[in-house]
Structure 1
Amino acid sequence: MKKIKKIKKITLSLLSMTIIFGFTNVSSTQAAEKYYYKGAAYSPVMEIQGSGKPIDTGKSSIVLSVATTYDQRSTGKERIRVWTREEVVRNYYDANATTLNYVRVRFGSPDNITLLVDETQILPKESVGWRDIPALDWLFSTNVWLNAAYQTSKALSGSMKAQITHKITDNNKEASITFSNGLLSGPKSELPGSISYKDGDKYYNGILNTQTGVTTKNATASGLGTYFGYKYILGSGQTGKLTAAADALYDMKDADEYGHGLVYSVKTGKASLTHTIGGS
C-alpha cells in the first residue's frame, strides 16, 4: 500500500507540473514596455454557421485594439487586445443564452516586408493538456493496482484540454492564437454593448463609467491580451505594413415556438486593422 501511495504522489505531482507550466500567463515585463497605439476595429458581420449567408448587422460582433513597440532596426512586438460581444450577438438573434466557442487572434504582414514571427515571444503560451508518459504507461500496465491508480490520476485531469493553441505558418510570416473550450467566456472577455469599440482599452482591466469617462481599476481583466514578437528587415526611410485581426464563434441556445430546444452557432466576420512601421 505504501508503494501505491508513493506512486500516486509522483503521478499527481506530474499533473501539477503540467498545470503550472501549461497555463502560463502574460508576464509582468509587458507592462514596462512602451507601446504605440495604432487604433481599434470591429466586425459587424454575423453568420449562422453553415448558412452561407453572412449579414452586415451594423453592430459589432468582435472588437480589437492594436498597439506595437519596435526598435526601428530589427525587432518588435505587437499587442492585440480582443473583446467578445456575446450580449450584442444574443440580442440580435433574440437567443436565450450564448457561450463562447472560440476566439482566434491573428498577426502577420500583407506587405512585402521581410517579417519573421518570433515563436518565443508569443503570449499567452499554449495550454498543455494531459500527455501520456510512455514509461509510466508501460510500468503501470504490468500491475493491476498501480495501473488503476495511474488511470485514476489521468481521469482527474479530464478538464485539462488544450484551451490556448498557437499556429505559425511554415515561412514564419503569420501566426495565430486560439482561445477555445469556453476558457474565457462571459465577463472575462466581454465588452458590454454600452461601451463603444473605441473605448475597449479604457475598459481593459477596469470598469469605464461612460457618463464621466473615468475608469475604475479592476483586478480582473476584461478582454484577451495577446502579444506577438516579430523580427523584420526595413531599410532607412522604408515602411512596411502589419495586420492584426480577430474572429469568434458563439454557440447559441434558444427554443422554437413549441418550446423545443434549438442549438446553433454564429460566427463573426474578421475585425482587422493594418498599420505601418518604419526602418531607420
Structure 2
Amino acid sequence: MSESGPTTLVVGATGTTGGRTAARLTAAGHRVRAASRTATAVPGARPVRFDWYEPATHAAALDGVERVYLVPPPGDSDPSAVMLAFLRRARDAGVRRAVLLGSSAIPEGGPAVGRVHRALPQLFDQWAVLRPSWFMQNLTGAHPHADGIREEGVVETATGSGQVGFVDAEDIAAVAFHALTDEHAPNAGLVLTGPEALSYDDVARVVTDVTGRRVVHRRVSPERLRERLAALMPVEFASLLAELDRAIADGAEDRVTDTVQRVTGRPPRAFRAFLQEETRRRG
C-alpha cells in the first residue's frame, strides 16, 4: 500500500501500545516515523533514535512530522519536565496534532502524566489524551503481574476486592489510530476500558479456567507492595503504583465506558476472549 497523508511520529514504537499503533498506521498507508532508544526497525515505518532524556535526538525525530503519539518515559514519576520541553519544540517544528497516552487513574492536572495532560490543550489545537485502564497485557507480557503468574501461580496486589475495567492494548491502539487520523481530533480526555470490571480474584479464576493452571490472588498491603516494587523500579514510581492499588481497593477503577465502541465502531474485547487468544497463540 502506498503511503499518504502527514507523517506521524510514534514515540515508543516498539512498546505495548506504540507498536500496535504504528502497525495500524502503516497498514492503512500512513507515513510513520518509529521512535525508540535504539532506532529499532518497525515494519513499514522509518526508524529513528529517540530518547526523552537526550534532547539531541529530538530534532531528527521531529523533522517533517505533523502528528505525534506520545508514550511517557517509563518509570518516571514526574515526566512533565522532559515531556513539556519536547512538546514545545514539537509545536515550533510544525506538529499540529498530539495524542498522549495517559492513565484512567490520573486525571488532568494530577501527578505524573496528569501535568502533561493539563498542558496539552494550551500547546496544540488538535489533541487527545487516551486514559486507558489497566492493560490486559500486564497479565501475560513483560510485567511483574505476568511474572508472578508464570513463576508462582500468584498475582500479588494491594487492590483487595476492588475492580478494574481491564482493556486490551489492541483496543487502545485502535482508538489511538482514530485520534491521530480522523478529520477532527477528539480534543478531549478519553477513558478507555474493556466491557467489564473485574477484581484480581476474578482475574485469577479466569486465568485458572482458561489455562488449566491454578492461579491465586495474593492480597498484600500497599506498604508491602511498595517494598517489592522498589526492588524493580525507582522508589518514587513504586510508591505511585502502590497508591494506585490503594485507590482501586477504594473503588476508583470500578467502571466501564463506551469509548472504544463509540470511537472505533466495535466493542472492546473481554478479558476471557483476550486470554483464550493469547493461550492459543502461545501454544
Q: If the length of structure 1 is used for normalisation, what is the TM-score?
A: 0.22
Q: Which has the larger radius of gyration?
A: 1
Q: Which structure would you say has the larger RCO, counting Cα contacts within 8 Å and 6 or more residues apart?
A: 1
Write 1 or 2 for the structure with the bigger share of helix. 2
Write 1 or 2 for the structure with the bigger share of strand. 1
